[in-house]
Amino acid sequence: MLIYDNALWLLLAALLLDALIGDPDWLWRRLPHPVVGIGRIISILDNSLNRPTMTAGQRKAGGLITLLLLVFGGLGLGSALESISGQIPFGDILVVIVTTVFLAQNSLYRHVAAVRDGLEQSGLEGGRKAVAMIVGRDPNQLDEAGVSRAAIESCSENFSDGVVAPVFWCALFGLPGLLAYKAVNTADSMIGHKNETYREFGWASARFDDLINLPASRLSGLFIALSASLAYGSPRKSLTCIIRDAGKHRSPNAGWPEAAMAGALDIALAGPRVYPGQTVDDPYLNEAGRKEATANDIDRAGMVMIGACVIQGLTIGLLAAVAA
């Protein structure tokens, strides 16, 4: 349900603004980013409801309480902002600005392109330094191909949960849907880990994040496949790779955009990976594809992502025109 008759047009404006400007570094050096504020709230709840002295059941209950507070807090704050925007002059501008803050098209492209630039300008060490900013695996264990694949995988997965998912929930429920989604997604990244500290406390947030990312992951795979030609790839091969390999991924969602990108670039993604203190022996997506990825493949993935963003924007514009 849309709060405003022109909500989709405002969302499209936010997508265009984010694509052109992104997150202005000068602003967030002076002010805390809203996601940082969400993270601080999660940390407070973590310290209060996830103490080592608590039983597993108590920590699981605390995690559920945390999830509910984040969801309803996001819905409430989003509703309040939309109410305020409807009562002030040029309130639509407020909606566009707030929406833009929570989109990641521009920043995702820049972070992934930085890995390409690091490899091209400073060699392996430059690539490792740049990729360490966007992935959790141990960069010292990566060669140039590993750095390149890690950047491409991050581009694919984060296109889903950093771009498509926020747009999807904003299109359905306006700012309340957007803010609630970002709160849950931030919680998953902070406490949704299967380790001794968060196995019980983060369970509810991790499972709910899987659920709310399900539709966006499928859409992101489709958008990537439709953009494969920009990397001199085949949309058909990308779609085939999704159907064949998406389910091989340990995540119920990440496999869709990653398999789509693997097929689009005709390279193998995922597979064995080394994280600090842990080695993951996962199957490859598009196993028959080339494993020696390069900085040029990172550039190709960026072009595919740009095309996928354009397709998403056109979809929102079409829906807005139909709804008008």
pLDDT tens-digit series, residues 1-60: 344 568 999 999 999 999 999 888 778 788 888 999 999 999 999 999 999 999 999 999
Burial of 206 per CB tally in 10 Å (0-12, 13-18, 19+): buried
pLDDT of residue 27: 80
Q: Write the CB contacts of 305 (distance below 8 Å, at least 6 apart in sequence).
A: 108, 109, 112, 155, 156, 159, 224, 227
Q: Write the CB contacts of 188 (distance below 8 Å, at least 6 apart in sequence).
A: 202, 205, 206, 209
Distance of CA 49 to the CA centre of its chain: 27
pLDDT of residue 1: 38
Q: For residue 202, what is the enclosing H or E element?
A: none
Question: What's the CA dihedral at 106, 109, 115, 119 to 10 degrees?
Answer: -110
Position with higher pLDDT, 24 vs 80: 80
Secondary structure, 3-state, 226-262:
HCHHHHCCCHHHHHHHHHHHHHHCCCCCCHHHHHHHH
The dihedral of CA 115, 119, 121, 122: what is its sign? positive
Looking up tokens 């005709």, which residue turns up?
266
pLDDT of residue 43: 97
pLDDT of residue 277: 64
Q: What amino acid is encoded at 197 in this protein?
A: T
Structure tokens at 193: 């880990």
Angle between helices 7-20 and 165-191 (to 10 degrees): 60
Report d(CA 162, CA 156) in Å as an integer: 10
Report d(CA 209, CA 253) in Å as an integer: 10
pLDDT of residue 23: 82
Structure tokens at 156: 């694919």
* pLDDT tens digits along 305-321: 999 999 999 999 999 99
Whether 177 has a pLDDT exceeding 60, the answer reads yes
Cβ atoms of 69 and 119 closer than 8 Å? no
Q: Taking Cα atoms as reference points, which of 158, 178, 95 lies closest to residue 308? A: 158
Average pLDDT, the chain: 94
What 122-128 contacts at long range (C-beta under 8 Å, 24+ apart), as own/partner pairs, is 127/295
Cβ atoms of 224 and 159 closer than 8 Å? yes
* pLDDT tens digits along 241-291: 999 999 999 999 999 999 999 999 999 999 888 776 677 788 999 999 999
Rg of the Cα trace of the chain? 20
Across 143-167, average pLDDT: 96
List the beta bridge partners of residue 284.
270
Report d(CA 36, CA 182) in Å as an integer: 11
Picking from 11-15, 52-56, 100-104, 134-138, which range would have the lowest pLDDT averaged per residue?
A: 134-138
* pTM of the shown model: 0.94
Report d(CA 62, CA 60) in Å as an integer: 5
Cβ atoms of 243 and 286 closer than 8 Å? no
- Report CA-CA distances (Å) from 298 to 2, 116, 314: 37, 6, 24
Kindly indicate the confidence band of residue 149, based on its pLDDT and cuts at 50, 70 and 90.
very high
Whether 167 has a pLDDT exceeding 50, the answer reads yes
